[in-house]
């Protein structure tokens, strides 16, 4: 229980920053053997829904959300989720883990390269400004 | 195209329950050229609604312990607010870089541990 609390604190702060708290929660709880892959994913969904619904109500009040776009995208995403869940029910845990590794490596590399690219771009723009 | 991306993001959300937000944000910011912070809000809204549907599927695969659920909900609501406040003080590129390195490192540790 103690390690779960520590992991929840760390990943909760990261999630609040909007930078992949869910991925980090799943990785940490499975590395430390607290949850199986599927359990970690299930608990992560529960945490995400709670925080996500509160954030969304706040964003709707603050008019931060493009409702037209939301209505356009919500149905395909829900259909996809139902397909994903059905794959999850049939898939072997080990295969799921391997797919998860590949997906996480892609997400990790993408975040590193896109942020470095933005930083270099910002630095170049600053230098141009000085000239 | 947006409908196809929507279905793919949904499948990733149902299957892995994490990381699909990044795919949606990538598409809307880089391909559709929408504003980043509005896209993040849209992504959270879309995926929380889709996750409510997904959770019914997980009920059949995962057995939950109510004690764990309560603990996680209390902690994540408090730390979520702390994270949001910290976020405003650190540039978003640095945050993304740290998160990318963390995800990559932890994945490597997980692969080594099996």
Q: Which of residues 46-75 of A touch B (CB under 8 A)?
A: 46-56, 59-60, 64-66, 69-70, 72-75
A108/A97 Cα distance (integer angstroms): 16
In a domain, A70, yes or no: no
Residue A52 and residue A103 in one domain = no
Q: Average pLDDT over chain B, rounded to whole?
A: 88
Indicate the residue of A26, A46, A107 with minimum beta-carbon distance to B69. A46
Residue A45 and residue A104 in one domain = no
pLDDT digits (tens, 9 = 90+) for A43-99: 999 988 888 888 888 888 888 888 899 999 999 999 999 999 999 989 998 899 999
* A28-35 average pLDDT score: 93
User: Is B46–A74 a contact, with Cβ atoms under 8 angstroms apart?
Assistant: yes
* pLDDT score for A20: 79
In a domain, A57, yes or no: yes
Q: Which two tokens stand for residue A29?
A: 């709880």
Query: Half-sphere exposure (CA, 13 Å, Cβ side) for A116?
Result: 8
Residues of B in contact with A15 (CB under 8 A): 76, 79-80, 83
* pLDDT score for A131: 58
User: String of b and e for A110-129 (b: at least 16 CB within 10 Å)?
Assistant: bbbebbeeeeeeeeeeeeee
A77/A106 Cα distance (integer angstroms): 21
In a domain, A83, yes or no: no
Residue to test with chain B: of A85, A99, A118, A123, most B Cβ within 10 A: A85
User: Is B19–A20 a contact, with Cβ atoms under 8 angstroms apart?
Assistant: yes
Select from B35, B63, B91 the last residue of a domain: B63
Residue A14 and residue A56 in one domain = yes
Residue A54 and residue A110 in one domain = no
Confidence of residue B110 (pLDDT cuts 50, 70, 90): very high
Reported ipTM: the value is 0.87
DSSP character at residue A65: S
B15/B26 Cα distance (integer angstroms): 19
A66/A81 Cα distance (integer angstroms): 21
Residue B109's domain comprises 65-114
Residue B3 and residue B58 in one domain = yes
In a domain, A33, yes or no: yes
* pLDDT score for B60: 79
Provide φ and ψ at A63, rounded to 5°: 60, 40
Q: SS3 for B65?
A: coil
Query: Structurally, how many domains does chain B consist of?
Result: 2
Residue B76 and residue B103 in one domain = yes
pTM of the model as a whole? 0.86
User: Is A38–B58 a contact, with Cβ atoms under 8 angstroms apart?
Assistant: yes
Residue B50 and residue B82 in one domain = no
Residue A52 and residue A99 in one domain = no
User: Is A21–B83 a contact, with Cβ atoms under 8 angstroms apart?
Assistant: yes
In a domain, A9, yes or no: yes
* pLDDT score for A130: 62
A77/A37 Cα distance (integer angstroms): 22
* pLDDT score for A27: 93
Query: Structurally, how many domains does chain A consist of?
Result: 2
Provide φ and ψ at A71, rounded to 5°: -65, -35
Indicate the residue of A1, A9, A20 with minimum beta-carbon distance to B22. A20
Residue A45's domain comprises 1-65
In a domain, A100, yes or no: yes
| Residue B4 buriedness (CB in 10 A; 0-12 / 13-18 / 19+) | exposed
Contacts of B27 (CB under 8 A, 6+ apart): B2, B5, B9
Residue B90 and residue B106 in one domain = yes
A64/A61 Cα distance (integer angstroms): 8
Q: Where are the alpha helices (DSSP H) in B17-65?
A: 20-26, 36-61
């Amino acid at each position: 229980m103690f390690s779960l609390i520590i992991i929840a604190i760390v990943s909760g702060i990261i999630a609040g920053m909007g930078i992949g708290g869910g991925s980090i929660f799943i990785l940490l709880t499975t590395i430390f053997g607290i949850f199986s892959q599927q359990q970690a994913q299930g608990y992560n969904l529960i945490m995400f829904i709670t925080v996500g619904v509160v954030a969304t109500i706040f964003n709707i009040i603050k008019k931060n959300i493009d409702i037209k776009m939301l209505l356009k995208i919500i149905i395909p995403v829900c259909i996809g989720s139902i397909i994903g869940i059905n794959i999850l029910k049939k898939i072997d845990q080990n295969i799921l883990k391997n797919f998860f590794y590949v997906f996480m490596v892609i997400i990790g590399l993408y975040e590193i390269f896109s942020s470095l690219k933005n930083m270099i771009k910002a630095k170049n723009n600053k230098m141009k400004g000085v000239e | 195209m947006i409908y196809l991306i929507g279905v793919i993001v949904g499948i990733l959300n149902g299957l892995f329950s994490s990381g699909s937000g990044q795919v949606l944000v990538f598409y809307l910011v880089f391909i559709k050229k929408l504003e980043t912070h509005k896209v993040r809000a849209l992504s959270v809204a879309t995926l929380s609604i889709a996750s409510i549907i997904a959770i019914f599927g997980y009920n059949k695969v995962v057995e939950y312990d109510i004690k764990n659920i309560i603990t996680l909900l209390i902690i994540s609501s408090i730390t979520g607010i702390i994270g949001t406040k910290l976020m405003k003080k650190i540039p978003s590129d640095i945050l993304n870089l740290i998160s990318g390195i963390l995800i990559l490192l932890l994945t490597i540790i997980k692969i080594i541990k099996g």
